[in-house]
Chain A
Amino acid sequence: DGAVFGQNVQVVDPDVRAYVYSLVTALGGFNGEDADRYVLGDDALACLRDIKRWLKLYDEKNNRMDVARCLGESNLVNGDLIPILTLWGSSEKASRHMSRVALACLELLVPMTWPLEIHKEMTVNHARHMPYLQQVQVQYKKGLLSNASAGLLRTIIRIGLPSMAMPRSERTNRDEGILKLMLYLLRNVIIITPDTRLVAEGEEEETSRSRTINAFQEQDAFALLLTMCSNVGDDFSLQDVVLLEILFHIVKGINVEKLFMDDEQRSSKRTNELHDLLRQESSLRREYTKNAPTRHGRFGTMIWVKRDDAKVSTVSGQDVLKDGQATMQKMDQTKKWNKPLQRRRITEVTVNDDFTSPVSISSTALKNLRKFVEEFLDTGFNPLLTHVRKAIEREADRVVSINSRQYFYIVAWFLEVERARRDCQRKKHAKEGKRSKDIQPDSFGLVASVLNQETFVFLNRAMQYALDNKDWEDLTAEMRCFTQILLTVQEMALSPLEEDQEIAENIQSRIFYEETTHDRILSIIRGFKDQGFGYLDACTELAHVFLRMLERYSKMNTDMQVRSRRKARRKAKEDQLAGENEIVHASEDEDQEDTERVSRERKFDFTRFSARFCNQKCVDTFVAFTRNYKELDTQQLKRAHRYFYRIAFKQEMTVLLFRVDIINLFYRMIKGPGALEPSQPIFRDWEELVKQIIRRMVKKMEQRPALVTEMLFSKINATVFYLEYGHERQTISGI
């Protein structure tokens, strides 16, 4: 009958809609004679409570989103709640009644701004309303942030102040509830971001991270956070997890390096960046013009490629005339078939994932954030993080599973900040020409709470757990945390304070003492298989830092001991041989003996340990990392370079790199098309490395013709040694 399908479908029950709308209308409005003044309805407080009841008893109970949608459509937040809060905020002496109204507004705002996530138990109803609600939440955020003169965040904080001022012992449940509401609202405001898949009408700027950070600074939300964080142990103990969440969402994805540049450096870096980008672009264009046709598109060139057995292939286009490489490239490119990709499992991305993709913020926001971050390090870092760790370990009720990931991310991020800050100070002192004697060196006390044995135990356990359960996002955060701890300790060892050196030495010996840690790093790096770039970046960085520090440490402590835990099998066998008549007994005890582990100390041998990183799986992980070479920065390229250098020239296992796809990758990196930028300093290093590897390969192929076939495959352990050295491994045990 011509009607568009679904046009007349009522998405919400009309009765529900009518009820909700009438409540919103009864709440109040702008009066006719004094048009810019919001006038509260007679029964406003009751209306607000009714709306809350609707949300609770209809939406929550039936697991629907209908009321939330109606509230969004009737513009409750921007049309009523925000004007009411402004009204309350601007009045000098707030009456008891108005305070209650304000609190009721806050009670509505929190559920309406609660982050919406796609999850497994979604119903059709959820799927229908969610896009609308996501978009309307962005409007809420815009409304909450844009009333800068009124300072809505400040008003909201004011609601919580009386409860905050009370000592903890005197606070009632209601007071704790108010504090919770206030903090959750701040958290929700940060989390809401315009969905890139939906149409945004110029709201990206007004609801961006920069705008949020600036509003937090201007309206003293940062001051509130600092006060609460620094008093976490004493006055605020139930709020620790929410505070952690807020911090996580403020800082996730922000580049620490940029935070610690002054304006001059930043602008010069920015011009440098622009310069670099322009140069990159021009080199791209140059590469294109080199191969571009010099005649019009219909000039019609066609060439033959002569091949074996009097066969020929034809390739068309003028660009193929240039050289043989271009021709081969074109022959390959024109093929239509692609190897089908492995289907990736569909993952639900939530607000807590994806903390590895970078976010850029404006320079004012950077300045504000830096100020906050530094003050947080000085006052709130130790109390908050100690408290949170204890809460997570104790499995307190308020803790959810996501919190440990946030904890590790925050630790990693702030340790990096602390190092950047020290670096910044050092440069400043050097610039001012002070002698190092005059400077009072800071101790690492400000971050001491995450450098103790308890944290290491916690971290180790969490890493093992994430590894066993294949929880890659968690593991990524934990790996980054471990890397930052290692780097901090390394810096600590170089500190002029003797005390710091001693502590660093102590920590290092404890970290490197456990052999299980070494084994875990190894199995992480071996276990890479399409976990995404964030994971790849984190695990290669960890392996790089860990190996280098362990190398240095074991060199300084020549008789380093590790505690190794091995299965007690061998011992059991010896026992069996000793008393053959007890065979029956032994087999009975075997199960028990199997699970029993002996732990004993043995001497640590770095060369043996690093040799364990020389296998095809580790190489494949680093190759997968290097495949992204066009997007990698200098540090990352260096990391890959050092690893391959170690493989080829320290461990003498170049054979592992002799595979056609690896050689192909290396060749493309240097000679193109799509090569590294030759003006980069790292390019020289890579060119030299690749050259040396190819030289060795050519030599090997002449020595051992069998390599021609082996070039196609990953090598078998049994043949690697022969290919490298030309004879079988001599084993003493055989004689």
Chain B
Amino acid sequence: KGSGLGLGLDEEVKVSKKRQPVAKLDESRLLSQNGIPKLRRAAKAKLRFKGKGHEFSDAARLLNFYQLWLDDLFPRAKFADGLSIIEKLGHSRRLQTMRREWIDEEKPKSSMDTFEDS
């Protein structure tokens, strides 16, 4: 015991390897640049529908659009699984306020407000 001069050099140091943290689909990932902001941009730029008479092809286009977006965002999960995770996240307070903001952005200034201003 003396050889280590009491510095604790002889004692074995346990090295425990930490596991690589598993990527999660959570609020911050959903709200990051690759998340919903990208979805909104892409929808404005790309998502076009043919309208009446092409209902099912329109639906397919929409579903593919979401699937590819989700695959980029969180490649691990299958489409249905990813959707259910996101739906659950939507109940959190932070996302609810964000959602309301996104809707309010597109709202025309409501008639009540203008009435009060004048």
Contact = CB atoms under 8 A, between A and B. Distances in A.
Binding between chains A and B: yes
Interface of A: 307-308, 313, 324-325, 328, 331-333, 335, 337-339, 659-661, 663-664, 666-667, 670-671, 690-691, 694-695, 697-699, 701-702, 704-706, 708-714, 716, 718-719, 722-723, 727-728
B79 A667 contact: no
Contacts of B107: 722
B33 interface: no
A664 B107 CA distance: 28
A718 B97 CA distance: 11
Contact of B103 (A331, A339, A695, A706): A706
A712 B83 contact: yes
Contacts of A659: 87
Contacts, number: 128
B60 A667 contact: yes
Contacts of A671: 56, 60
Interface string B68-104: 1001100111111101111100110001100110110
Interface of B: 36, 39-40, 42-44, 47, 49, 51-52, 55-56, 58-60, 62-64, 66-68, 71-72, 75-81, 83-87, 90-91, 95-96, 99-100, 102-103, 105-107, 110-112
A718 B85 contact: no
Nearest to A727: B110
Contact of B90 (A325, A335, A712, A728): A712
A304 to B, nearest CB: 14
Given A661-B80, A701-B47, A714-B91, 6 more contacts: A324-B64, A660-B66, A699-B51, A705-B44, A706-B105, A709-B102
Nearest to A307: B68
Q: Most chain-A Cβ atoms within 10 A of its Cβ — which of B40, B56, B86?
A: B56
Contact of A661 (B75, B76, B87, B111): B87
A338 B106 CA distance: 36
A699 B55 CA distance: 11
A324 B64 CA distance: 9
Contacts of A697: 59, 62
Contact of B56 (A337, A694, A714): A694
Nearest to B96: A716
Q: Most chain-B Cβ atoms within 10 A of its Cβ — which of A308, A690, A709, A728?
A: A709
Q: Most chain-B Cβ atoms within 10 A of its Cβ — which of A337, A659, A718?
A: A337
Nearest to B81: A339
Contact of B63 (A335, A660, A712, A716): A660
Contacts of A698: 49, 51, 55, 58
Contact of A670 (B56, B58, B87): B56
B83 A661 contact: yes
B99 A716 contact: yes
Nearest to B112: A728
A699 B59 CA distance: 12
Contact of A702 (B49, B81, B85): B49
7 contacts: A660-B83, A661-B87, A663-B59, A667-B59, A706-B102, A708-B43, A710-B102
Contacts of A332: 67, 78-79
A712 B85 CA distance: 10
A313 B68 CA distance: 10
A694 B40 contact: no
B65 to A, nearest CB: 9
Nearest to A703: B106
User: A-B pairs with the 3 shortest C-beta distances?
Assistant: A713-B90, A339-B81, A708-B43
Given A706-B105, A714-B87, A728-B110, A691 B56 contact: yes
Contact of B99 (A325, A338, A670, A719): A719
A303 to B, nearest CB: 15
Given A659-B87, A728-B110, A335 B76 contact: yes
Nearest to A694: B55
Given A667-B63, A709-B39, A709-B40, A337 B83 contact: no
A694 B58 contact: yes
B67 A694 contact: no
A714 B90 contact: yes
Contact of A339 (B43, B67, B85, B90): B85
A722 B107 CA distance: 9
A713 B87 contact: yes
B115 to A, nearest CB: 10
A719 B63 contact: no
B66 to A, nearest CB: 5
A712 B105 CA distance: 18
A705 B100 contact: no
Given A667-B60, A698-B55, A705-B43, A710 B103 contact: yes
Contact of A708 (B39, B58, B75, B112): B39
Nearest to B71: A331
A329 to B, nearest CB: 9
B55 A713 contact: no
A698 to B, nearest CB: 5
A704 B104 CA distance: 11
B78 A706 contact: no
A118 B40 CA distance: 55
Contacts of B105: 706
A449 B96 CA distance: 53
